[in-house]
A and B are shown apart, each in its own frame.
Chain A
Amino acid sequence: MEAATLPEDGTHLRSEAIVCRHCGAEVAAGSSFCCSGCEAAHAAAGAVGAPTLFSAAAMVAEKGDFQLELGIEGIHCASCIRLIESALASNEDVTAARVNMSTERLVVAWRGSRVRGDALAHQVEALGYRLYDISANDAASGASGTEKELIKAIAVAGFAAGNLMLISVGLWTSTAEAMGLATRELFHWLSALIALPTVAFSGRPFFRSAFGVLKSGHTNMDVPISLAVVLACLMSISETMRGGEHVYFDSAVMLLFFLLIGRYLDARAKGKARQSASALLSKLAGTAVVFENGEMVRRPIKDLKSGMHVLVAAGENIPADGTILKGTSEIDLSLINGEVMPAPASVGAQVYAGTVNLTASIELTVDKASSKSLLSEIVRMMEVAEQGAAKYVRLADRAASLYTPVVHVFGALTFLGWWLLMQAPWQVSLLHAVTVLIITCPCALGLAVPVVQVLASGELLKNGVLLKSGDALERLSGVDTVIFDKTGTLTLGHPALTGGDYSDKHLALAASLAVHSRHPLSKAIAENATALRVELTVQELAGKGLVAEMDGSQIQLGSRRWCGLEYAQGEEAGEGLELWLAVDGAPVAHFEFTDTLRTDAAHTVQQLHQMGLQSALLSGDRQATATKVARSLGIPEVLAEVTPTEKCEYLQNLRKQGKAVLMVGDGLNDAPALAAADASMSPSTAIDIAQNTADIVFQGDKLAPVLSTIKTARRSTKLVRQNFTLAILYNIVAIPLAVMGYVTPLIAAAAMSGSSLLVILNAFRLKRKG
């Protein structure tokens, strides 16, 4: 682990006692930070590694300026915004810097050279904010484009619906005799004047989609919607021209208004689309230093072949799967297994592409070309798995596929019935047929799903659960088997002090050193110490430990060997997690750590069983450890020492048996399984690729969100079904009225608003029960 001294980065603007150590804002006496956001960012600033290269994603803006848009994490408050913007703006060549807090984006523009962007990005990273490339994620910006279009359409439709109502109420409450025929015709023409441009503008999202599916020979919900709106308008125009009694312009526009709201909520709920796994492969872009005929040359990583001899400097990504030839270092394996602890590696050890070499430079022989590395393999598996999982058909779409033909058959029968059986003129028959289409139009259906979904996702967000795909809740509600990963999912994924041989005094002393380090074990010690700490000047030696002087004696906190002890027979470095405390070279205490279970893990698993769900544990860890964890939690089925491929296969087998599986995992080794499962969840401490793949991300140290999310999913799906039932009941009443020709524009308007309102009110029951 690299030395993590707290940065003295010039952010101490005024006297240290009264200003925030991160942003320089004034704080109350006694505290060092203005808010928890600054504290977190300040801590993260210590852990910044090598600068990431973003400049390739920069776009050329006007006048030769470069503009770069990056995702940014860790913005909590106004100070964060000001700190980032003013830090960037203090560079003379920066022309604009703007943080968007809602979308967590940073836009920076500068003059000069493209690569300058990397320096600017690193400047922000050094402040403690994590940046990430979003160029692979263009789907998200496209989604916000449709959202904007929908809002515009809603605004126009809302304006028109309001004004049409103004006129329509006049028409409904009066009679032709009272207001005079001329006035009624004026009103009709005015309605047409308002409604037609509105329909042309606000109806586009529906018309476009309907046209698209019709061209490919299918139908969806937008087809009856478009047909009803267009027919209602055409019929109303002809009625207006021949001086008829009823026009349905207001119905057509109100229909659009309600449906657009549903459509907008739906677009909002869809949220962040799953990001493509290919972003992962960017770890394998760039070059590596290769020894060729005794010379060092730079070669693109993709050209590495098996048998090549490669040098990896400290802090660099390991370019290919290989075996260490020379050198001893620590490797950050978090990408592969999600473990926080770096693993020691020496000659002969196997290393994987994409992991980070931390402490010293190493030389390795390449075993596999980069296109065959574990990383590439996992990406390929994920892509295959995602294609398999993409077949889920949403409830709403299934309803639509039944609904469309039924409604159109009713419309046609109505027309034929009036025309042939009742001998009515064809205009009148058509009028009745069109009212059937209008009144059955799926206002309630269109609102039934999105309203519930928006309420449910809002509720979940309050509890720290982020829904990432629109149909996640629906898929989750059908789940009957839950599969857990061990490290980082059932356990917290970071070590806690659980044993050893020490006194309170030693613990306090160890903590006095440990507070100066960000190594996971140091943090675990610092968390546990409640006693007084001594102020010390501490030095951190990478790979060894911490050292300080106190009252003339030297105090060491670190590995066993460094503290002057040899390993006993049969023990090896890296087996247990431990720290030793030594005074003047003589060990006086030792601390043991284990990765502890989430406090409510057993309770959550038990509750899941009570809800009739099955559970299983899949772990890459050793059999003994995995079995022990499973037994203590009451999970009946355990599969240990499984590879990512085996995890994925196990899941697919379950699915073949007709089970619906929820996968909960946090590592790269879980990613293919997350993609293959019916629904997937990740803790927010998971590696990026797992979070991106999962449908749902939950925060916090508890496992309970898994339980509560399943409950919310089941409840919201139940409400959606109820809403569909309500919509169908409404149609059972409304269709006969329309077929018999009793529906006037007033009844149509009342019925449509009434059913929509009913569905929305029913959806709100989700909140009350919560």
Chain B
Amino acid sequence: MDALLLLIPVALLLGGVGLAAFLWTMKNGQYDDLDGAAHRILLDDDD
């Protein structure tokens, strides 16, 4: 059962990192314009 002491915090931590990353991307506005993002990929950003 000692493994639990390591595994549970690790599981929670990894899940937490994923959650934090998701919340950050959302706050950052990365889901605001999904259609636009799909099209912008075709543009050359050479200017």
Contact = CB atoms under 8 A, between A and B. Distances in A.
Interface string A143-167: 0000010011001100100110011
B26 A152 contact: yes
A81 interface: yes
A77 B43 CA distance: 10
Contact of B15 (A100, A103, A162, A186): A162
12 contacts: A77-B39, A78-B42, A81-B39, A81-B40, A100-B36, A101-B35, A102-B33, A102-B35, A102-B36, A103-B33, A179-B1, A194-B12
Interface of A: 77-78, 81-82, 86, 99-103, 148, 151-152, 155-156, 159, 162-163, 166-167, 179-180, 183, 186, 190, 194
A155 B12 contact: no
Contacts of A190: 8
A159 B15 contact: yes
A67 to B, nearest CB: 15
A37 to B, nearest CB: 11
B2 to A, nearest CB: 11
B11 A163 contact: yes
Interface in B1-31: 1, 4, 8, 11-12, 15-16, 18-19, 22-23, 26
Interface of B: 1, 4, 8, 11-12, 15-16, 18-19, 22-23, 26, 32-36, 39-40, 42-43, 47
B19 A159 contact: yes
Interface of A, helix, strand, loop or mixed by DSSP: helix
A100 B29 CA distance: 11
A180 B43 CA distance: 62
Contacts of B34: 102
Contacts of B23: 152, 155
B42 A183 contact: no
B12 A100 contact: no
Contact of B43 (A82, A100, A162): A82
A322 to B, nearest CB: 46
Given A81-B43, A166-B11, A155 B22 contact: yes
Contact of A100 (B8, B18, B22, B32): B32
Contacts of B16: 159
A78 B19 contact: no
Contacts of A166: 8, 11
Contact of B32 (A81, A102, A179, A194): A102
B1 A100 contact: no
A78 B1 contact: no
Contact of B33 (A100, A167, A183): A100
Contacts of B8: 166-167, 190
A183 B1 contact: yes
Nearest to B47: A86
Contact of A101 (B15, B18, B39, B47): B39
Contacts of A102: 32-36
Nearest to B41: A78
Nearest to A77: B39
Contact of B18 (A151, A159, A194): A159
Contacts of A151: 26
A148 B32 CA distance: 10
B33 A101 contact: yes
B6 to A, nearest CB: 14
A180 B11 contact: no
Given A78-B42, A101-B39, A183 B19 contact: no
Contacts of A86: 47
Contacts of B43: 78, 81-82
A183 B4 contact: yes
Given A86-B47, A102-B33, A152-B23, A163 B39 contact: no
The 6 closest A-B pairs by CB, nearest first: A101-B36, A78-B39, A101-B35, A78-B42, A100-B33, A159-B19
Contact of B40 (A78, A156, A162, A194): A78
A100 B16 CA distance: 31
Nearest to A152: B23
B36 A163 contact: no
A81 B36 contact: yes
A156 B15 CA distance: 10
Given A78-B42, A101-B39, A179-B1, 17 more contacts: A78-B39, A81-B40, A82-B43, A86-B47, A101-B35, A102-B33, A102-B35, A102-B36, A151-B26, A152-B23, A155-B22, A155-B26, A159-B15, A162-B15, A163-B11, A180-B1, A183-B4
Contacts of A78: 39-40, 42-43
A77 B23 CA distance: 29
A159 B14 CA distance: 10
A163 B12 contact: yes
A86 B26 CA distance: 27
Contacts of A162: 15
B43 to A, nearest CB: 5
A167 B12 CA distance: 11
Contacts of B36: 81, 99-102
A533 to B, nearest CB: 34
A705 B32 CA distance: 30
Contacts of A183: 1, 4
A39 B15 CA distance: 49
Contacts of A179: 1
Nearest to A156: B19
Nearest to B31: A151
A152 B18 CA distance: 13
B12 to A, nearest CB: 6
